[in-house]
């Protein structure tokens, strides 16, 4: 028997190459003010390899698979204030590591484990000060070269290895992500129903009331935190892409855009729903919503193994381009056909973000968006917007186990020539999928997405 974390360490060890050693710190604690810290969140790479959530911890793994952990020592005084610590004595049995020491012994012990190795792998540009710390350890190794020690001569970016592993979600990760998605879907339902109920009761409804419902539902099911700052945007606030839940009134007749989901045991969901505050879509809201939904359906149909990461985005754009002309948000006399809209990127004032990102421990998860087997096929382009030169590489080929979002939207700011009935409407629909053997599995449909289903839900 072994743990998923030990299995991942064994897979990583096999990638380190002869004489390879990986060093992985967890995240630092961050002060908020005076004596209080921001809620602690471990480093995702470190957690992926250990399942350990305490701060002040380090992992070293060598190519033979031997793992060494440094962690906070047992300390009754600190544990009275800050809580239980696993401690190095218990760590090998609990975390399946081969050796564990107090983090106070990091500088004394770590350089000895670098001696006579060839290459040090560590995450580049993710932990401030880490490269300087490594220099210190390598200096300590060099100081012993007269005693015969050899110093590693190569360094490699550990992210390159771990990002590729993390891109394919294993069964343990998929189960957690399904659960995070399920809890988050329930939270959206709760917010939708609260919205229509409070308005029916004539109450003063604010964005924060709906945010409170989301948080309540996340925590009540054991999720530790929101996976990212919850967006609860009433009315025209929906056109601000990074709006945060605030105190704006939510009125009958408004659309509400909620982009919120929980993090459960280190894994994120990412859901957006847009609904009428009082449970009834108006004509223009319905038209815009149906267009975004149709574009999402096209994107979902394009999400399958063998397709490219960019394919769902292209499928979205094709539907939106025609729809923007049909709804007269774009004037065909000025911009031409849907093909012209795509070529000139005339949709950009209404749809300025991309349709997908990887999803996993981090809401915008790691993983190359370029296909690794085709990196040589880079082509020089000019960015049609900025005129800057661009190198375009073939987009990633989707494979089973990859997780991504599908999140088209339309955001209509008042502007000359834009029909007034659409002014201030913002719609995004975001679901999470796993690429499967023959298509994709949508994990977030516990909350409805069709207009009839949303209206039915909000009547109850």
Active site residues: 35, 242, 259, 270, 353, 357, 364, 407, 411, 428, 430
Between 278 and 365, whose beta carbon lies closer to ligand GLY?
Answer: 365
What does 228 bind: Mn ion, ligand GLY, none (CB cut-off 5 to 8 Å by kind)? ligand GLY
Between 274 and 405, whose beta carbon lies closer to Mn ion?
Answer: 405
Closest CA to 121 of 161, 89, 92: 161
What end-to-end distance do the CA atoms of the chain give, in Å? 49
Return all residues near 200 (Cβ < 8 A) that are at least 6 apart: 278
Asked if 425 and 307 touch (Cβ cutoff 8 Å), the reply is no
In whole angstroms, what is the distance from residue 301 CA to residue 295 CA? Answer: 10
Give the shortest CB-405-to-ligand GLY separation in angstroms.
Answer: 6
Where does this chain touch Mn ion (CB under 5 A) — which range of 18-26, 38-46, 253-261, 439-447? 253-261
Question: Which residue is listed with tokens 């005693």?
Answer: 147
Secondary structure letter of residue 432 according to DSSP? E
Asked if 115 and 19 touch (Cβ cutoff 8 Å), the reply is no
Residue number, nearest CB to ligand GLY: 259
Can you state the angle between helices 283-301 and 451-458, rounded to 10 degrees? Answer: 120
Give the shortest CB-258-to-ligand GLY separation in angstroms.
Answer: 10
In whole angstroms, what is the distance from residue 340 CA to residue 347 CA? Answer: 10
362 touches ligand GLY by CB under 6 A: no
Give the shortest CB-353-to-ligand GLY separation in angstroms.
Answer: 8
Give the angle subtended at the CA of 358 by the CAs of 231 and 299, to the nearest 5°: 85
Q: Under rule CB under 5 A, which residues in 269-288 are in contact with Mn ion? A: 270
Secondary structure letter of residue 170 according to DSSP? -
Among 43, 173, 207, 259, binds ligand GLY (CB under 6 A): 259
Among 194, 237, 265, 405, binds Mn ion (CB under 5 A): 405
Among 62, 213, 270, 432, binds ligand GLY (CB under 6 A): 270
Between 198 and 410, whose beta carbon lies closer to ligand GLY?
Answer: 410
Q: Under rule CB under 6 A, which residues in 388-417 are in contact with ligand GLY? A: 407
Residue 229: CB atoms within 10 Å:
12
259 touches Mn ion by CB under 5 A: yes
What does 211 bind: Mn ion, ligand GLY, none (CB cut-off 5 to 8 Å by kind)? none
Q: Token pair of 227, please? A: 């996976």
Number of residues that bind ligand GLY (CB under 6 A): 7
Among 43, 213, 254, 430, binds ligand GLY (CB under 6 A): 430
Give the shortest CB-303-to-ligand GLY separation in angstroms.
Answer: 16
Helix, strand, coil proportions of the chain in percent (round to 5)?
A: 40, 20, 40
What does 62 bind: ligand GLY, Mn ion, none (CB cut-off 5 to 8 Å by kind)? none
Between 62 and 430, whose beta carbon lies closer to Mn ion?
Answer: 430
Residues 190-229 as x/- pattern, contact with ligand GLY by CB under 6 A:
--------------------------------------x-
What does 432 bind: Mn ion, ligand GLY, none (CB cut-off 5 to 8 Å by kind)? none
What does 238 bind: ligand GLY, Mn ion, none (CB cut-off 5 to 8 Å by kind)? none
Quick check: helix, strand or coil at residue 392? strand
In whole angstroms, what is the distance from residue 182 CA to residue 247 CA? Answer: 27
Residue 240: CB atoms within 10 Å:
14
Give the shortest CB-168-to-ligand GLY separation in angstroms.
Answer: 21
In whole angstroms, what is the distance from residue 232 CA to residue 250 CA? Answer: 10
Return all residues near 80 (Cβ < 8 A) that are at least 6 apart: none
Classify strands 119-122 and 20-25 as parallel, antiparallel or unpaired: parallel
Between 22 and 404, whose beta carbon lies closer to Mn ion?
Answer: 404
365 touches ligand GLY by CB under 6 A: no
Secondary structure letter of residue 301 according to DSSP? H
Q: Token pair of 312, please? A: 């769902």
What is the contact surface with Mn ion in residues (CB under 5 A)? 259, 270, 405, 430
**Chain contacts with ligand GLY (rule: CB under 6 A):** 228, 259, 270, 357, 363, 407, 430
């Amino acid at each position: 028997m072994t743990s998923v974390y030990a299995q991942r360490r064994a897979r990583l060890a096999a990638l380190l190459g002869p004489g390879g050693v990986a060093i992985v710190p967890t995240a630092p604690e961050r002060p908020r003010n005076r004596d209080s810290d921001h809620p602690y969140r471990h480093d995702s790479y470190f957690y992926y390899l250990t399942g350990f959530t305490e701060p002040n911890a380090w992992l070293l793994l060598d190519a033979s698979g031997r793992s060494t952990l440094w962690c906070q020592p047992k300390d009754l005084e600190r544990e009275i204030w800050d809580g239980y610590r696993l401690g190095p004595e218990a760590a090998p049995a609990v975390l399946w590591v081969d050796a564990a020491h107090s983090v106070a012994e990091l500088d004394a012990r770590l350089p000895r484990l670098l001696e006579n190795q060839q290459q040090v792998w560590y995450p580049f540009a993710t932990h401030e000060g880490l490269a300087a710390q490594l220099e210190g350890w390598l200096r300590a190794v060099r100081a012993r070269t007269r005693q015969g020690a050899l110093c590693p001569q190569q360094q490699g970016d550990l992210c390159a290895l771990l990002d590729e592993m993390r891109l394919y979600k294993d069964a343990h990760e998929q189960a957690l992500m399904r659960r995070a998605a399920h809890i988050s879907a329930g939270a959206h339902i709760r917010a939708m129903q609260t919205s229509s109920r409070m308005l029916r009761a004539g109450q003063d409804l604010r964005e924060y009331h709906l945010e409170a419902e989301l948080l309540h539902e996340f925590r009540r099911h054991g999720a530790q935190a929101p996976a990212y700052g919850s967006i609860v945007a009433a009315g025209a606030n929906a056109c601000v892409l990074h709006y945060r839940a605030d105190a704006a009134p939510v009125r009958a007749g408004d659309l509400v855009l909620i982009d919120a989901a929980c993090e459960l045991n280190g894994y994120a969901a990412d859901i957006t729903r847009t609904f009428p505050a009082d449970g009834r879509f108006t004509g223009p809201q319905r038209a815009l919503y149906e267009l975004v939904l149709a574009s999402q359906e096209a994107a979902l149909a394009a999400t399958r193994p063998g397709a490219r990461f960019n394919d769902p985005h292209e499928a979205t754009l094709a539907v939106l381009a025609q729809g923007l002309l049909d709804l007269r948000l774009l004037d065909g006399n000025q911009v031409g056909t849907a093909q012209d809209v795509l070529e000139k990127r005339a949709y950009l004032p209404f749809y300025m973000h991309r349709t997908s990102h990887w999803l996993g421990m981090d809401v915008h998860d790691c993983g190359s968006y370029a296909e690794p087997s085709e990196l040589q096929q880079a082509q020089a382009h000019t960015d049609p917007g900025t005129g800057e030169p661009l190198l375009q590489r073939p987009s990633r080929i989707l494979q089973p186990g990859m997780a991504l979002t599908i999140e088209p939207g339309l955001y209509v700011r008042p502007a000359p020539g834009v029909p007034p009935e659409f002014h201030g409407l913002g719609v995004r629909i975001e679901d999470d999928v796993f690429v499967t053997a023959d298509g994709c599995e949508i994990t977030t449909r516990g909350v409805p997405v069709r207009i009839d289903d949303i209206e039915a839900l909000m009547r109850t």
